[in-house]
C-alpha cells in the first residue's frame, strides 16, 4: 500500500475530519463504561510498560528471530515505536490467534499487535483506525500448482486446504472451498507447514505472509498471478471496547504516523516489492 492508498484508507481533509469526529462521538458514547476505572493509558504510563499481545507466527508482521529469541517484524516494530513515543517499554505477551479476543477481554494485554478487521472480532474487541491492508491468496506446493488455475479449481473434491485454527483464513476457506477438504491445524503448527509436509495441497494466507513464504521456501509458489486476491480488508490494532481514552490515544498516534509516512517506510522495509 503506497502513501496515496494509505491516505485513502485513513481519510484526508474533510473525510479525515469526519472520521475523527465519528471516532470522538463513539468515544463519548463509551465513556461511562470506562469511567468507573482508570484508563489503560494511565495504567501504562504509571507502570512504565505497555503489554502487547502477539502470536510470533505471522512473518513478516510478527515472528520470532531464533538467533536472538526476540520478536521481529512490521507490527513488532510499530508497537515498539508506539511504546517509545509514549515513554514506556514493551512487555510482550505470547498468545494464539484463536485467543486474541479472549485475551483482550481478560485484560492479559493492553493492545494486540495487529490483525484483520472482522465483524466477529469486533463483537468482543475494539479496532483502531487502519494502518495497512491485507488480502487473501492461495499458496501451493510447486508440484501441484498446475492443478489450480482459478478459485473454482481449488473448490473441488480431493483438494486439501490447510489453515490455522482461529484465523480469518479458516472462515474464508470454509466459505470459498466447501467442496474441498479443510485441514485445520492448531498452533504452533501452520498451514504452510502442512503443504511442505505433503499433508495438504495448498494453504490460504495473507498477501504479506505469502510473499515471505515463497522467498523462504523454494517448494512453495504463490498462485495470485492467475488467482486474484480475495477478501481485501484493513489491518488495525486491537484493544478493549470499554476504554475510549486509550483508543483515542492510539488512534491519534496512528493518524500522525501515517501522515509522516511511517507505515509506508515499514512496508518498504518488511514487504519489498522485489
How confident is the model over 84-92, as a mean pLDDT? Answer: 98
135-231 is classed in which CATH architecture? Answer: 3-Layer(aba) Sandwich (3.40)
How many Å is the maximal CA-CA distance in the chain? Answer: 60
d(CA 144, CA 34): 53
* Cell numbers that stand for 65 in this block: 528471530
* Per-residue model confidence as pLDDT tens digits over 223-251: 855 567 788 889 999 999 999 999 999 99
pLDDT bucket at 28, cuts 50 / 70 / 90 = very low
CA distances from 93 to 39, 127, 144 (A): 20, 19, 38
* Cell numbers that stand for 250 in this block: 492510539
Strands (E), 144-249: 160-164, 181-185, 202-206, 220-222, 230-239
Q: Is 235 helix (H, G, I), strand (E, B) or coil?
A: strand
The mean-pLDDT minimum among 134-138, 199-203, 207-211, 231-235 falls in 207-211
Residue 231: left if φ>0, alpha if ψ -120 to 50, beta else—which one?
A: left
Phi and psi at 4, nearest 5°, equal: -65, -40
Cell 511504546, residue?
A: 83
Whether 135-231 and 3-133+234-270 are alike in CATH topology: the answer is yes
Domain 3-133+234-270, CATH number (from 3.40.50.300, 3.40.1350.10, 3.40.190.10, 3.40.50.720)? 3.40.190.10
* Cell numbers that stand for 20 in this block: 475523527
User: Would you list the domain boundaries of the chain?
Assistant: 3-133+234-270, 135-231
* Cell numbers that stand for 1 in this block: 500500500
Asked if residue 37 has pLDDT above 50, the reply is yes
Q: The pTM is what?
A: 0.67
Output the CA torsion sign for 172, 178, 181, 184: positive
Amino acid at each position: 500500500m503506497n502513501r496515496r492508498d494509505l491516505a485513502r484508507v485513513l481519510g484526508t481533509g474533510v473525510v479525515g475530519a469526519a472520521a475523527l469526529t465519528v471516532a470522538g462521538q463513539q468515544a463519548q458514547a463509551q465513556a461511562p463504561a470506562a469511567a468507573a476505572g482508570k484508563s489503560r493509558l494511565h495504567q501504562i504510563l504509571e507502570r512504565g510498560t505497555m503489554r502487547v499481545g502477539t502470536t510470533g507466527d505471522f512473518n513478516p508482521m510478527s515472528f520470532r528471530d531464533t538467533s536472538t529469541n526476540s520478536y521481529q517484524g512490521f507490527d513488532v516494530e510499530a508497537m515498539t515505536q508506539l511504546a517509545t513515543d509514549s515513554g514506556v517499554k514493551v512487555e510482550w505477551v505470547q498468545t494464539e490467534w484463536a485467543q486474541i479476543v479472549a485475551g483482550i477481554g481478560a485484560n492479559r494485554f493492553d493492545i494486540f499487535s495487529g490483525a484483520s478487521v472482522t465483524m466477529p472480532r469486533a463483537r468482543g474487541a475494539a479496532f483502531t483506525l487502519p494502518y495497512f491492508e491485507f488480502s487473501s491468496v492461495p499458496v501451493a506446493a510447486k508440484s501441484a500448482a498446475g492443478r489450480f488455475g482459478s478459485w473454482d479449481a481449488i473448490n473441488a473434491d480431493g483438494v486439501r486446504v490447510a489453515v490455522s485454527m482461529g484465523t480469518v483464513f479458516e472462515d474464508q476457506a470454509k466459505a470459498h472451498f466447501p467442496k474441498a477438504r479443510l485441514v485445520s491445524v492448531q498452533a504452533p503448527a501452520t498451514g504452510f507447514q502442512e503443504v511442505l509436509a505433503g499433508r495438504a495441497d495448498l494453504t490460504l494466507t495473507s498477501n504479506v505472509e505469502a510473499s515471505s513464504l515463497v522467498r523462504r521456501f523454494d517448494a512453495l509458489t504463490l498462485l495470485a498471478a492467475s488467482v486474484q486476491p480475495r477478501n481485501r480488508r484493513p489491518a488495525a490494532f486491537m484493544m478493549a471496547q470499554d476504554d475510549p481514552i486509550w483508543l483515542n490515544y492510539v488512534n491519534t498516534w496512528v493518524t500522525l504516523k501515517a501522515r509522516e509516512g511511517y507505515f509506508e517506510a515499514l512496508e518498504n522495509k518488511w514487504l519489498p516489492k522485489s
